[in-house]
Amino acid sequence: MHREELTRWVGDTDAFLNRYWRTAPAVFRPAPGTGPAVPLTLEEIDTAVAGGLLRVPHLELARAGDPVHSSRYTRARTVSGVTTPGYADPERIRELLADGATLVLRNVEHWHAATRALTRRLEAELGRRVEAFFFVTPPGSQGLDLHRDDADVLLLQSTGSKHWTVRGGPTGPDWAPGAVAGGGPVLLTETLNPGEVLYIPRGFAHEAVGGEGLSAHLSLTIREVSTQQLFAALQRLLLDSLPLPSRPLDDDALHATAGLLLDRFRDRLPEVTAAAVVAHARRAQLAEGTVPGLGADPGIAALAARLGTPHGTPHGPAAAAA
């Protein structure tokens, strides 16, 4: 399979998948003109934040060892008499950044079309859901404590530099993402400069400190399905199209429904493979992460054309009343 987008990030994709995927962290330094491009600029972030319509949890300010409560960088907005909290306050965000906090933009693919196009390309190549996060960190500052992510991560440095430390992965299957106290021996310690890529395997503990200049990087998280999602996929594979009453009225009906379930399980279970369950779970995960219509023409202009609506800006009292 040709993986054009992944090649921009890691070079030889076969070597990457065989040597590093889920096994070891690595830094990739693509030759000029061959590496990936950051789809989101600092100017676009300025525009998005200045507009004030970004909200928690798409936006967060973070500082290792000193959590920043959302009330310190958001404000309420009143629309048609309804007051809703959690909107970005540009002035407070600038002040906290200047004071050493890290700006975190979560799931950028939800609202930024070019970023969504990037995640879709990688999803098509990897068969897994890809989410995009953007971090802006002042020099010498650390946004997050040492932690594990429930995803493989590809990082692309955009501006400035950032020093990364990556430690070991989980020792067993019953682990949880989030902050960790240790993390094992250091496996990698590197400073990333613009255009350079860092890969962190799923669950490997890591932390980073801003280097020279204002550090900005794009972080792509490559999600894997969970045991719960496998269970849901198995249910869908076994029970697809089986008509079942939602609330059987008596014991006879209840036992009859249980019998239908058992018969279906006996009929289909021998044909279901582990690979089919995993593939079904991954397809469902991809579908759950889809943002309908992002970047596409919503059809308003096309509707106006069909209706013969004149172009231009309306004037006068009628326009004001509208």
DSSP state of 310: P
CB 282 within 8 A of CB 103: no
Work out the average pLDDT over 47-51: 93
Work out the average pLDDT over 168-181: 92
Token pair 């989030």 in the structure block, residue: 178
Q: How far apart are CA 93 and CA 197, in angstroms?
A: 27
Residue 300, pLDDT > 90, answer: no
Residue 146, pLDDT > 90, answer: yes
> Lowest-confidence range among 3-7, 74-78, 134-138, 304-308?
304-308
Work out the average pLDDT over 41-56: 93
Residue 314, pLDDT > 60, answer: no
pLDDT at 316 (0 to 100): 52
pLDDT at 111 (0 to 100): 93
Confidence of residue 295 (pLDDT cuts 50, 70, 90): low
Confidence of residue 148 (pLDDT cuts 50, 70, 90): very high
pLDDT at 308 (0 to 100): 83
Among 14, 305, 291, residue whose Cα is nearest residue 131? 291
Q: HSE-up of 104 (CA within 13 Å, CB side)? A: 20
pLDDT at 321 (0 to 100): 55
Q: HSE-up of 109 (CA within 13 Å, CB side)? A: 21
pLDDT at 309 (0 to 100): 78
Whole-model pTM: value is 0.87
User: Three-class SS of residue 241?
Assistant: coil
Work out the average pLDDT over 171-187: 92
Work out the average pLDDT over 301-311: 79
> Lowest-confidence range among 51-55, 122-126, 140-144?
51-55
In Å, the largest CA–CA distance within the chain is 73
Output the CA–CA distances (angstroms, integers) from residue 251 to 186, 255, 256, 259, 262, in the order listed.
Answer: 61, 6, 8, 12, 16
pLDDT at 182 (0 to 100): 86
Q: Which of 187-191, 241-245, 293-297 has the highest mean pLDDT?
A: 187-191
Residue 310, pLDDT > 90, answer: no
Residue 98, pLDDT > 90, answer: yes
Q: Which residues contact 120 (CB under 8 A, 6 or more apart)?
A: 130
Exposed / middle / buried, residue 27 (Cβ in 10 Å: 0-12, 13-18, 19+) = middle
Residue 2, pLDDT > 60, answer: yes
Output the CA–CA distances (angstroms, integers) from residue 127 to 21, 63, 132, in the order listed.
Answer: 14, 33, 16
Work out the average pLDDT over 178-203: 96
Residue 27, pLDDT > 90, answer: yes
pLDDT at 96 (0 to 100): 97
Work out the average pLDDT over 205-223: 97
Provide the mean pLDDT of the chain: 91
Q: How far apart are CA 147 and CA 155, in angstroms?
A: 15
Q: Pick the more confident residue, 38 or 319.
A: 38
Residue 82, pLDDT > 60, answer: yes
pLDDT at 313 (0 to 100): 55
Work out the average pLDDT over 104-133: 95
